[in-house]
Amino acid sequence: MAEIEPHIFVILGATGDLTARKLLPSLNALIARNALGPKSLILGVGMETEFNDASFRDKCRQDLAAANIPQEQIAQTASDKRLFYQTTGKGTPEDYEKLGQRIEQLEKDNGMPGNRVFYLALPPKVFPLAIAALGGAGLNKSNGWVRLVIEKPFGRDLKSAQELNKVVHQSFEEKQVYRIDHYLGKETVQNLLVFRFANALFEPQWNRDRIESVEITVAESLGVEHRAGYYEGAGALRDMIQNHLTQLATLTAMEVPEAFRADAIRREKVKVLHSVLPIRREDVVLGQYAAGKIDGKDVPAYRDEPGVAKDSQTETFVALRLEIENWRWHGVPFFLRTGKRLASRSSEIVVTFRRPPVWIFKPFDVETIQPNSLVITIQPDEGFDLYFEIKAPGQGVRIQQSDLRFRYSELFPRLPEAYETLLLDVLQGDATLFVSDDWVEASWRLYTPLLENKPKVVPYAAGSWGPPEADALLSDLGRTWTKT
């Protein structure tokens, strides 16, 4: 691991939920294993004027304790030598100039070279204001490096994404920008590149000649919870498909990059999106969860959740079919599926291979041979399963399926959290797992027509695997979705 240079990690929105649940615990983990070096400071920034350095540290100690962080680690992270607070008040130019002055003073007091990260842990609607304010105060430049981290969602459609990119590029160069998608920080997702390109066993099979279909599922058993205010205006298509699942699809489908380098990898991912045919309405199923049972307990319908309109047409489930029209994937459908209140929580990629072309076992009354499949589990139990056919012991020919299994937890004592990995990448200047401006726009270009002309939303029972209409997307393959 490359040594991390001294820096100030500036969190805009430091008093919010994302900072408490994800950023602070991840920064704490990096500090605990000495990954950040002795000279790294954290500056929390918020509109609240009632906080100062001391009271902000108290809040952070409480947040870290709530995340079950050991007290000795909390003391190290929330110390008066590392953690500070600065208000931006009403967000005026003068407020941001004061922020710049505070940063410069901290750098001077600690002999730092001017390396800065600005993390926007803010509501998406204020991204443009915050980015413009940073640029207006000259915080987009320094004697060291400056990096801007932007949370998803990056836009609501193609037009808004293009407008936000324009705002970003007015103040920051693209090489300074890190659009974060926490799914890409998961070890199994990162290992996709190694799995494909470091193993001669698999890459030669990774094409239309050997593969019949690819399924990508991100399933949640939870409902909308406390996010109704956001979710009602977003829905599963914006919240999950456009970013998380499409990222997984492009990583699965990309060509071999010219080098294991961020720009080369990102370029190949964009090429995949440019090869996807326009999505037909008949290849999309939208659903909304009705009442049902999860883990034996009754749960309400989406429309009965707090903050949800009684006549809401917001989709909580999406299943769709993508066709990638290039030499590698012509004729191989990619199926994307996500939903809330499904039967279990799981994220996986299922690569189904074609059946053998010669049926030599027919004289033995053997039932149809199951296709080989590779199941890449992203969560909750990260790993890989390769399914294949074997002969069961005994006389005669009886074929059954078995698997080769790998689990990270059996080999490695601890996997870093996704945010932990991605924050470290930001500090090392490695943009491989972050979203580029052209990828964002290409993805929105693909899904915006669908957002403007959505299919009808159909109900499904909470605790199921979604509406039965979704299985029809795979009907030409003679099977249904893989159940996990």
**Would residue 143 be called left, alpha or beta, if left means φ above 0 and alpha means ψ between -120 and 50 degrees?**
alpha
Q: How far is 378 from 347, CA to CA, in rounded Å? A: 5
Cα-to-chain-centroid distance, residue 251: 12
Q: Phi and psi (nearest 5°) for 337?
A: -145, 135
Q: Are strands 333-339 and 211-219 parallel, antiparallel or unpaired?
A: parallel
Name 33's bridge partners: none
8-state DSSP, 474: G
**Helix, strand, coil: what percent of the chain each, to 5?**
40, 25, 40
Residue in this structure with the two tokens 């659903």, named with its chain if needed: 287
Q: Phi and psi (nearest 5°) for 311?
A: -110, 25
Cβ(46)–Cβ(14) below 8 Å: yes
Q: How far is 106 from 125, CA to CA, in rounded Å? A: 30
Q: Are strands 383-391 and 373-379 parallel, antiparallel or unpaired?
A: antiparallel
- The SS3 assignment for 228 reads helix
8-state DSSP, 283: G
Residues 6+ apart with CB under 8 A from 476: none
Please enumerate, as own/partner, the contacts of 389-396 that have beta carbons within 8 Å and a separation of 24 or more.
396/364
Q: How far is 28 from 50, CA to CA, in rounded Å? A: 24
Exposure string over 404-438, b if 16+ CB within 10 A, otherwise e:
eeeebeeeeeeebbbbbbbbbbbbeeebbbbbbbb
Cβ(46)–Cβ(15) below 8 Å: yes
- The SS3 assignment for 249 reads helix
The answer to whether residue 169 is catalytic is no
Q: What tokens does 364 get? A: 């033995």
Task: Point out the catalytic residue in the list 182, 244, 274, 330.
Answer: 244
Burial class (CB in 10 A: 0-12, 13-18, 19+), 11: buried
User: Rg of the Cα trace of the chain?
Assistant: 24
- The SS3 assignment for 28 reads helix
Name 293's bridge partners: 298
Residues 6+ apart with CB under 8 A from 239: 153, 231
8-state DSSP, 342: B
Q: Which residues are catalytic?
A: 244
